[in-house]
Chain A
Amino acid sequence: MALDKNGIAKRIAKEVKNGYYVNLGIGIPTLVANFVRDDIEVEFQSENGVLGMGPFPFEGEEDPDLINAGKQTITTLPGASFFDSAMSFSMIRGQHVHLTILGAMEVAENGDIANWKIPGYMVKGMGGAMDLVASAENIIVAMTHTNKKGESKLLKRCSLPLTGVACVKKIVTDLAVIEVTNEGFKLLERAPGVSVDTIKNATEGHLIIEGDIPEMIL
Protein backbone atom coordinates (compact mmCIF):
# COMPACT_ATOMS: atom_id res chain seq x y z
CA MET A 1 0.00 0.00 0.00
CA ALA A 2 1.19 3.49 -0.79
CA LEU A 3 2.57 5.37 2.19
CA ASP A 4 0.86 8.38 3.70
CA LYS A 5 2.74 11.58 4.53
CA ASN A 6 3.86 10.26 7.88
CA GLY A 7 5.09 7.06 6.24
CA ILE A 8 7.24 9.04 3.80
CA ALA A 9 8.59 11.12 6.68
CA LYS A 10 9.31 7.99 8.71
CA ARG A 11 11.33 6.44 5.90
CA ILE A 12 13.30 9.66 5.31
CA ALA A 13 14.08 9.87 9.03
CA LYS A 14 16.26 6.78 8.55
CA GLU A 15 18.54 8.85 6.29
CA VAL A 16 19.29 11.25 9.13
CA LYS A 17 22.58 10.23 10.73
CA ASN A 18 24.28 10.99 14.02
CA GLY A 19 26.03 14.39 13.98
CA TYR A 20 24.00 15.81 11.11
CA TYR A 21 22.86 19.41 10.79
CA VAL A 22 19.62 19.18 8.79
CA ASN A 23 17.41 21.71 7.02
CA LEU A 24 13.78 20.66 6.66
CA GLY A 25 11.49 22.24 4.09
CA ILE A 26 7.80 22.98 4.56
CA GLY A 27 5.22 20.15 4.34
CA ILE A 28 6.20 16.46 4.58
CA PRO A 29 9.85 17.34 5.40
CA THR A 30 8.74 19.09 8.61
CA LEU A 31 7.25 15.77 9.78
CA VAL A 32 10.64 14.05 9.54
CA ALA A 33 11.70 15.59 12.86
CA ASN A 34 9.00 13.52 14.58
CA PHE A 35 10.60 10.22 13.51
CA VAL A 36 14.32 10.75 14.02
CA ARG A 37 15.78 8.17 16.43
CA ASP A 38 16.27 9.69 19.85
CA ASP A 39 19.58 7.93 20.44
CA ILE A 40 21.39 10.10 17.87
CA GLU A 41 22.47 13.75 18.00
CA VAL A 42 20.92 15.88 15.25
CA GLU A 43 20.34 19.63 14.97
CA PHE A 44 17.67 21.17 12.81
CA GLN A 45 18.40 24.45 11.04
CA SER A 46 15.71 26.84 9.95
CA GLU A 47 16.87 29.37 7.37
CA ASN A 48 15.21 32.32 9.08
CA GLY A 49 17.96 32.08 11.69
CA VAL A 50 17.92 29.26 14.23
CA LEU A 51 19.91 26.10 14.82
CA GLY A 52 18.70 23.64 17.41
CA MET A 53 14.98 23.89 16.74
CA GLY A 54 12.72 22.04 19.12
CA PRO A 55 9.04 21.04 19.01
CA PHE A 56 6.09 23.41 18.82
CA PRO A 57 5.46 25.27 22.10
CA PHE A 58 2.77 24.42 24.60
CA GLU A 59 -0.29 26.64 24.49
CA GLY A 60 0.42 29.95 26.17
CA GLU A 61 4.16 29.66 25.59
CA GLU A 62 4.20 30.89 21.97
CA ASP A 63 6.77 33.61 21.31
CA PRO A 64 6.34 35.90 18.27
CA ASP A 65 10.14 36.32 18.25
CA LEU A 66 10.63 32.59 17.83
CA ILE A 67 9.38 31.09 14.56
CA ASN A 68 10.57 28.70 11.85
CA ALA A 69 10.82 29.29 8.10
CA GLY A 70 7.15 28.36 7.76
CA LYS A 71 6.37 31.20 10.21
CA GLN A 72 5.13 28.68 12.78
CA THR A 73 5.85 29.23 16.46
CA ILE A 74 8.60 26.90 17.71
CA THR A 75 10.86 26.26 20.69
CA THR A 76 14.59 25.77 20.94
CA LEU A 77 16.58 22.94 22.51
CA PRO A 78 19.63 23.29 24.78
CA GLY A 79 22.61 24.29 22.61
CA ALA A 80 20.49 26.28 20.17
CA SER A 81 21.71 29.48 18.53
CA PHE A 82 20.25 32.42 16.63
CA PHE A 83 21.85 34.25 13.74
CA ASP A 84 21.06 36.63 10.89
CA SER A 85 19.87 35.65 7.43
CA ALA A 86 23.23 36.16 5.71
CA MET A 87 24.93 33.86 8.23
CA SER A 88 22.11 31.36 7.85
CA PHE A 89 22.81 31.10 4.14
CA SER A 90 26.55 30.95 4.82
CA MET A 91 25.72 27.71 6.64
CA ILE A 92 23.70 26.54 3.65
CA ARG A 93 25.85 27.65 0.70
CA GLY A 94 29.02 26.90 2.64
CA GLN A 95 27.86 23.26 2.93
CA HIS A 96 27.93 23.25 6.71
CA VAL A 97 24.40 21.88 6.68
CA HIS A 98 24.76 18.16 5.90
CA LEU A 99 21.32 17.28 4.64
CA THR A 100 18.47 19.16 3.01
CA ILE A 101 15.02 17.57 2.83
CA LEU A 102 12.45 19.33 0.71
CA GLY A 103 9.31 18.81 -1.29
CA ALA A 104 9.01 18.99 -5.08
CA MET A 105 6.47 19.22 -7.87
CA GLU A 106 8.79 17.50 -10.36
CA VAL A 107 12.20 15.81 -10.37
CA ALA A 108 14.03 14.84 -13.57
CA GLU A 109 16.18 11.76 -14.05
CA ASN A 110 19.32 13.96 -14.09
CA GLY A 111 18.44 15.42 -10.67
CA ASP A 112 16.85 18.68 -11.82
CA ILE A 113 14.13 19.87 -9.47
CA ALA A 114 11.08 22.12 -9.93
CA ASN A 115 9.21 23.17 -6.82
CA TRP A 116 8.48 26.89 -6.85
CA LYS A 117 6.42 28.04 -9.78
CA ILE A 118 3.51 26.92 -11.94
CA PRO A 119 3.07 29.25 -14.92
CA GLY A 120 -0.41 30.77 -14.97
CA TYR A 121 -0.83 30.53 -11.20
CA MET A 122 0.02 33.03 -8.48
CA VAL A 123 3.74 32.72 -7.84
CA LYS A 124 4.62 33.04 -4.19
CA GLY A 125 8.37 32.83 -4.53
CA MET A 126 11.25 30.46 -4.07
CA GLY A 127 12.14 31.46 -0.52
CA GLY A 128 15.38 29.70 0.35
CA ALA A 129 14.84 26.70 -1.95
CA MET A 130 17.17 27.84 -4.73
CA ASP A 131 20.01 28.50 -2.29
CA LEU A 132 19.42 25.14 -0.60
CA VAL A 133 19.35 23.01 -3.75
CA ALA A 134 22.27 24.82 -5.39
CA SER A 135 24.52 24.18 -2.43
CA ALA A 136 23.59 21.13 -0.40
CA GLU A 137 25.78 18.07 -0.80
CA ASN A 138 22.94 15.76 0.09
CA ILE A 139 19.40 16.55 -1.03
CA ILE A 140 16.49 14.23 -0.43
CA VAL A 141 13.15 15.01 -2.00
CA ALA A 142 9.96 14.03 -0.18
CA MET A 143 6.91 13.89 -2.43
CA THR A 144 4.11 11.78 -3.80
CA HIS A 145 5.08 9.73 -6.85
CA THR A 146 2.29 11.18 -8.97
CA ASN A 147 0.33 14.43 -8.92
CA LYS A 148 -3.39 14.84 -8.26
CA LYS A 149 -4.15 14.06 -11.91
CA GLY A 150 -2.21 10.80 -11.58
CA GLU A 151 0.68 12.04 -13.72
CA SER A 152 4.23 11.05 -12.84
CA LYS A 153 6.37 13.57 -10.98
CA LEU A 154 9.55 11.63 -11.80
CA LEU A 155 10.25 12.76 -15.32
CA LYS A 156 12.76 12.59 -18.14
CA ARG A 157 12.87 16.38 -18.00
CA CYS A 158 11.03 18.82 -15.78
CA SER A 159 8.23 20.72 -17.51
CA LEU A 160 7.93 23.41 -14.82
CA PRO A 161 10.43 26.23 -14.23
CA LEU A 162 13.48 24.82 -12.43
CA THR A 163 14.56 25.50 -8.89
CA GLY A 164 17.97 23.90 -9.40
CA VAL A 165 19.89 21.72 -11.84
CA ALA A 166 21.29 18.20 -11.35
CA CYS A 167 21.15 18.42 -7.57
CA VAL A 168 18.69 15.84 -6.16
CA LYS A 169 20.41 12.71 -4.83
CA LYS A 170 17.53 10.69 -3.46
CA ILE A 171 13.73 10.69 -3.68
CA VAL A 172 11.36 9.12 -1.18
CA THR A 173 7.78 8.88 -2.41
CA ASP A 174 4.64 7.14 -1.25
CA LEU A 175 5.66 4.24 -3.51
CA ALA A 176 9.44 3.97 -3.50
CA VAL A 177 12.94 5.03 -2.52
CA ILE A 178 14.87 6.09 -5.59
CA GLU A 179 18.46 7.15 -6.06
CA VAL A 180 19.33 9.66 -8.79
CA THR A 181 22.31 8.25 -10.69
CA ASN A 182 24.17 9.29 -13.85
CA GLU A 183 22.11 6.68 -15.72
CA GLY A 184 18.72 7.73 -14.34
CA PHE A 185 16.37 6.84 -11.47
CA LYS A 186 17.57 3.72 -9.66
CA LEU A 187 14.90 1.87 -7.70
CA LEU A 188 16.21 1.01 -4.25
CA GLU A 189 13.15 0.08 -2.20
CA ARG A 190 9.40 -0.44 -2.58
CA ALA A 191 6.73 0.74 -0.16
CA PRO A 192 5.23 -2.25 1.70
CA GLY A 193 2.95 -4.19 -0.65
CA VAL A 194 3.68 -2.00 -3.70
CA SER A 195 4.82 -3.91 -6.79
CA VAL A 196 7.75 -2.98 -9.03
CA ASP A 197 5.28 -2.71 -11.92
CA THR A 198 3.20 -0.13 -10.03
CA ILE A 199 6.33 1.97 -9.51
CA LYS A 200 7.41 1.50 -13.12
CA ASN A 201 4.01 2.65 -14.39
CA ALA A 202 4.12 5.72 -12.13
CA THR A 203 7.61 6.74 -13.28
CA GLU A 204 7.96 8.59 -16.59
CA GLY A 205 11.75 8.93 -16.44
CA HIS A 206 14.19 6.08 -17.00
CA LEU A 207 13.85 3.64 -14.09
CA ILE A 208 16.73 1.26 -13.41
CA ILE A 209 15.62 -1.99 -11.78
CA GLU A 210 18.40 -4.35 -10.74
CA GLY A 211 17.64 -7.70 -9.07
CA ASP A 212 15.06 -8.09 -6.33
CA ILE A 213 13.84 -4.79 -4.92
CA PRO A 214 13.34 -5.03 -1.16
CA GLU A 215 10.44 -3.54 0.72
CA MET A 216 11.10 -0.49 2.88
CA ILE A 217 11.62 -1.19 6.55
CA LEU A 218 9.73 1.46 8.45
Chain B
Amino acid sequence: MINKKVTNAAEALTGVKDKMTLMVGGFGLSGIPENSIAELVKLNVKELTCISNNAGVDDFGLGLLLQKKQIKKMISSYVGENAEFERQMLSGELEVELIPQGTLAERCRAAQSGIPAFYTPAGYGTEVAIGKETREFNKKMYVLEHAFKADFAVVKAWKGDEAGNLIFKGTARNFNPNMCGAAKITIAEVEELLPVGSLDPNQIHIPGIFIQRIFQGVNYEKRIEQRTIRKR
Protein backbone atom coordinates (compact mmCIF):
# COMPACT_ATOMS: atom_id res chain seq x y z
CA MET B 1 0.00 0.00 0.00
CA ILE B 2 1.24 3.45 -0.88
CA ASN B 3 0.07 5.68 1.95
CA LYS B 4 -1.48 8.99 0.88
CA LYS B 5 -2.70 10.06 4.29
CA VAL B 6 -1.87 13.53 5.59
CA THR B 7 -3.00 14.94 8.91
CA ASN B 8 -5.16 17.89 7.87
CA ALA B 9 -6.03 20.49 5.25
CA ALA B 10 -2.96 22.59 6.08
CA GLU B 11 -0.62 19.73 5.30
CA ALA B 12 -2.64 18.68 2.26
CA LEU B 13 -2.43 22.14 0.70
CA THR B 14 1.35 22.44 1.06
CA GLY B 15 2.73 23.98 -2.11
CA VAL B 16 -0.37 25.93 -3.14
CA LYS B 17 0.91 29.37 -4.16
CA ASP B 18 -0.28 32.63 -5.66
CA LYS B 19 -1.27 32.55 -9.35
CA MET B 20 -1.85 28.81 -9.43
CA THR B 21 -4.72 27.07 -11.21
CA LEU B 22 -6.96 24.98 -8.97
CA MET B 23 -9.72 22.56 -9.88
CA VAL B 24 -12.38 22.50 -7.17
CA GLY B 25 -15.06 19.81 -7.06
CA GLY B 26 -18.73 20.25 -6.29
CA PHE B 27 -22.04 21.23 -7.87
CA GLY B 28 -23.60 24.21 -6.19
CA LEU B 29 -22.74 23.63 -2.54
CA SER B 30 -23.08 19.86 -2.85
CA GLY B 31 -19.84 17.90 -2.64
CA ILE B 32 -17.55 20.92 -2.22
CA PRO B 33 -14.25 20.44 -0.35
CA GLU B 34 -15.26 22.61 2.63
CA ASN B 35 -12.11 22.03 4.70
CA SER B 36 -9.74 22.79 1.82
CA ILE B 37 -11.63 25.96 0.89
CA ALA B 38 -11.45 27.17 4.50
CA GLU B 39 -7.71 26.48 4.47
CA LEU B 40 -7.24 28.37 1.19
CA VAL B 41 -8.88 31.37 2.87
CA LYS B 42 -6.45 31.01 5.77
CA LEU B 43 -3.43 30.68 3.46
CA ASN B 44 -4.58 33.86 1.71
CA VAL B 45 -3.12 32.75 -1.62
CA LYS B 46 -3.98 35.30 -4.31
CA GLU B 47 -4.62 35.59 -8.02
CA LEU B 48 -5.92 32.06 -8.30
CA THR B 49 -7.58 30.63 -11.37
CA CYS B 50 -10.38 28.34 -10.22
CA ILE B 51 -11.97 25.69 -12.41
CA SER B 52 -15.26 24.81 -10.76
CA ASN B 53 -18.79 24.36 -12.07
CA ASN B 54 -20.11 27.13 -9.82
CA ALA B 55 -18.70 29.86 -7.63
CA GLY B 56 -20.46 29.14 -4.34
CA VAL B 57 -22.68 31.67 -2.59
CA ASP B 58 -21.63 34.93 -0.93
CA ASP B 59 -20.67 33.40 2.39
CA PHE B 60 -19.89 29.79 1.54
CA GLY B 61 -17.96 27.67 -0.92
CA LEU B 62 -15.74 29.53 -3.35
CA GLY B 63 -17.69 32.66 -2.39
CA LEU B 64 -15.38 32.76 0.66
CA LEU B 65 -12.34 33.17 -1.62
CA LEU B 66 -14.16 35.77 -3.69
CA GLN B 67 -14.92 37.81 -0.58
CA LYS B 68 -11.19 38.02 0.08
CA LYS B 69 -10.44 38.74 -3.57
CA GLN B 70 -8.23 35.67 -3.88
CA ILE B 71 -9.59 34.64 -7.27
CA LYS B 72 -8.38 36.30 -10.46
CA LYS B 73 -10.26 34.11 -12.87
CA MET B 74 -13.20 31.68 -12.67
CA ILE B 75 -13.85 28.97 -15.25
CA SER B 76 -17.42 27.75 -14.68
CA SER B 77 -20.65 26.82 -16.41
CA TYR B 78 -23.05 28.70 -14.13
CA VAL B 79 -22.34 31.41 -11.58
CA GLY B 80 -25.71 32.69 -10.33
CA GLU B 81 -26.71 33.24 -6.70
CA ASN B 82 -23.63 35.24 -5.74
CA ALA B 83 -23.81 39.03 -5.35
CA GLU B 84 -20.10 39.57 -4.68
CA PHE B 85 -19.25 37.52 -7.74
CA GLU B 86 -21.57 39.69 -9.80
CA ARG B 87 -20.03 42.88 -8.43
CA GLN B 88 -16.45 41.76 -9.16
CA MET B 89 -17.40 40.51 -12.61
CA LEU B 90 -19.19 43.70 -13.63
CA SER B 91 -16.39 45.90 -12.27
CA GLY B 92 -13.83 43.89 -14.21
CA GLU B 93 -11.90 42.78 -11.11
CA LEU B 94 -12.75 39.18 -11.84
CA GLU B 95 -12.20 37.45 -15.15
CA VAL B 96 -14.88 34.88 -15.97
CA GLU B 97 -14.86 32.18 -18.63
CA LEU B 98 -18.24 30.50 -19.01
CA ILE B 99 -18.23 27.15 -20.75
CA PRO B 100 -20.84 24.44 -21.30
CA GLN B 101 -21.16 22.09 -18.33
CA GLY B 102 -20.49 18.93 -20.32
CA THR B 103 -17.43 20.55 -21.87
CA LEU B 104 -16.19 21.50 -18.40
CA ALA B 105 -16.57 17.89 -17.23
CA GLU B 106 -14.94 16.46 -20.32
CA ARG B 107 -12.00 18.90 -20.19
CA CYS B 108 -11.37 17.56 -16.67
CA ARG B 109 -11.71 13.96 -17.79
CA ALA B 110 -9.41 14.61 -20.79
CA ALA B 111 -6.76 16.01 -18.45
CA GLN B 112 -7.19 12.98 -16.20
CA SER B 113 -6.90 10.60 -19.14
CA GLY B 114 -4.02 12.02 -21.18
CA ILE B 115 -6.27 13.18 -24.01
CA PRO B 116 -5.04 16.64 -25.15
CA ALA B 117 -8.25 17.69 -26.89
CA PHE B 118 -11.59 16.37 -28.14
CA TYR B 119 -14.48 17.37 -30.38
CA THR B 120 -17.87 18.15 -28.90
CA PRO B 121 -21.07 19.42 -30.53
CA ALA B 122 -21.78 21.71 -27.55
CA GLY B 123 -21.51 25.38 -28.42
CA TYR B 124 -21.18 24.97 -32.17
CA GLY B 125 -22.60 28.06 -33.89
CA THR B 126 -22.53 30.06 -30.64
CA GLU B 127 -20.04 32.51 -29.15
CA VAL B 128 -18.44 29.62 -27.23
CA ALA B 129 -17.01 28.34 -30.53
CA ILE B 130 -15.47 31.66 -31.61
CA GLY B 131 -11.78 31.24 -32.42
CA LYS B 132 -11.93 27.47 -32.01
CA GLU B 133 -11.29 24.81 -34.61
CA THR B 134 -14.49 23.20 -35.91
CA ARG B 135 -14.86 20.04 -37.93
CA GLU B 136 -17.60 17.96 -39.54
CA PHE B 137 -18.08 14.31 -38.60
CA ASN B 138 -21.01 12.29 -40.00
CA LYS B 139 -22.72 15.44 -41.29
CA LYS B 140 -22.67 17.19 -37.91
CA MET B 141 -20.41 20.02 -36.78
CA TYR B 142 -18.16 19.82 -33.72
CA VAL B 143 -15.89 22.18 -31.78
CA LEU B 144 -12.36 21.28 -30.66
CA GLU B 145 -11.93 21.71 -26.89
CA HIS B 146 -8.70 21.23 -24.94
CA ALA B 147 -7.89 19.40 -21.72
CA PHE B 148 -7.44 21.63 -18.69
CA LYS B 149 -4.03 22.20 -17.16
CA ALA B 150 -4.11 22.70 -13.42
CA ASP B 151 -1.64 22.71 -10.53
CA PHE B 152 -3.94 21.24 -7.89
CA ALA B 153 -7.26 19.41 -7.95
CA VAL B 154 -9.16 19.61 -4.67
CA VAL B 155 -12.00 17.12 -4.29
CA LYS B 156 -14.40 15.88 -1.64
CA ALA B 157 -15.53 12.27 -1.19
CA TRP B 158 -17.72 10.47 1.31
CA LYS B 159 -15.40 7.65 2.30
CA GLY B 160 -11.76 7.04 1.53
CA ASP B 161 -8.89 4.86 2.68
CA GLU B 162 -5.25 5.60 3.34
CA ALA B 163 -4.35 4.35 -0.14
CA GLY B 164 -6.45 7.19 -1.56
CA ASN B 165 -9.33 5.05 -2.82
CA LEU B 166 -12.57 7.03 -2.86
CA ILE B 167 -16.31 6.46 -2.62
CA PHE B 168 -18.75 9.29 -3.25
CA LYS B 169 -22.31 9.77 -2.00
CA GLY B 170 -25.40 10.76 -3.98
CA THR B 171 -25.15 13.79 -6.21
CA ALA B 172 -22.22 15.07 -4.12
CA ARG B 173 -20.21 12.98 -6.61
CA ASN B 174 -20.66 15.38 -9.61
CA PHE B 175 -17.32 16.79 -10.87
CA ASN B 176 -15.20 15.33 -8.07
CA PRO B 177 -14.27 12.03 -9.77
CA ASN B 178 -13.51 13.78 -13.06
CA MET B 179 -11.02 16.10 -11.37
CA CYS B 180 -9.06 13.30 -9.66
CA GLY B 181 -5.70 13.03 -11.39
CA ALA B 182 -6.56 15.91 -13.71
CA ALA B 183 -4.01 18.22 -12.07
CA LYS B 184 -0.35 17.82 -11.05
CA ILE B 185 -1.42 17.05 -7.48
CA THR B 186 -4.85 15.85 -6.35
CA ILE B 187 -5.99 16.39 -2.78
CA ALA B 188 -9.00 14.48 -1.49
CA GLU B 189 -10.82 15.31 1.72
CA VAL B 190 -13.26 12.73 3.03
CA GLU B 191 -15.95 12.52 5.68
CA GLU B 192 -14.60 9.18 6.80
CA LEU B 193 -10.97 8.10 6.36
CA LEU B 194 -10.54 4.37 6.92
CA PRO B 195 -7.55 2.03 7.15
CA VAL B 196 -6.75 0.07 4.00
CA GLY B 197 -8.77 -3.11 3.71
CA SER B 198 -11.91 -1.44 5.09
CA LEU B 199 -13.40 -0.61 1.71
CA ASP B 200 -14.65 -3.28 -0.68
CA PRO B 201 -12.55 -2.97 -3.88
CA ASN B 202 -15.74 -3.63 -5.86
CA GLN B 203 -17.29 -0.45 -4.52
CA ILE B 204 -14.40 1.98 -5.18
CA HIS B 205 -15.40 4.87 -7.49
CA ILE B 206 -11.90 6.36 -7.87
CA PRO B 207 -8.76 4.26 -7.36
CA GLY B 208 -6.03 5.76 -5.17
CA ILE B 209 -3.60 6.03 -8.09
CA PHE B 210 -5.27 9.34 -9.00
CA ILE B 211 -4.83 10.79 -5.50
CA GLN B 212 -1.62 12.18 -3.97
CA ARG B 213 -2.92 13.37 -0.58
CA ILE B 214 -5.96 12.38 1.45
CA PHE B 215 -7.18 13.64 4.80
CA GLN B 216 -10.09 13.28 7.17
CA GLY B 217 -12.23 16.41 7.00
CA VAL B 218 -13.92 17.90 10.06
CA ASN B 219 -17.08 19.85 10.90
CA TYR B 220 -18.86 19.44 7.58
CA GLU B 221 -21.59 22.03 7.29
CA LYS B 222 -23.14 20.73 4.03
CA ARG B 223 -25.34 23.69 3.38
CA ILE B 224 -28.46 23.32 1.26
CA GLU B 225 -28.87 26.01 -1.38
CA GLN B 226 -32.53 25.44 -2.32
CA ARG B 227 -34.40 23.61 0.40
CA THR B 228 -37.42 22.22 -1.42
CA ILE B 229 -39.99 20.02 0.26
CA ARG B 230 -43.45 18.59 -0.36
CA LYS B 231 -46.35 18.39 2.04
CA ARG B 232 -47.01 15.16 3.88
Contacts and interface: CB of A to CB of B under 8 A. Distances in A.
Interface of A: 46-50, 55-59, 61-68, 70-74, 82-86, 88-89, 92-93, 112, 122-131, 134-135, 161-165
Interface string B101-132: 11111101100000000001111111110000
A130 B128 contact: yes
B78 A63 contact: no
A55 B230 contact: yes
A87 to B, nearest CB: 8
B100 interface: yes
Interface stretch (B16-24, B63-71, B165-173, B192-200): B165-173
Given A86-B105, A130-B128, A131-B101, A64 B224 contact: yes
Contacts of B76: 125
A64 B102 contact: no
Interface size class of B (residues with CB under 8 A): 35 or more
B229 A57 contact: yes
Contact of A126 (B77, B90, B105): B77
Residue from B78, B80, B128, B231 whose CB has the most chain A CB atoms within 10 Å: B78
7 contacts: A49-B174, A64-B172, A66-B171, A67-B171, A93-B120, A164-B124, A164-B125
B226 A72 contact: yes
Interface string B170-183: 11111111100000
Interface stretch (B2-10, B25-33, B40-48, B209-217): B25-33
Given A59-B232, A71-B29, A84-B175, A126 B98 contact: yes
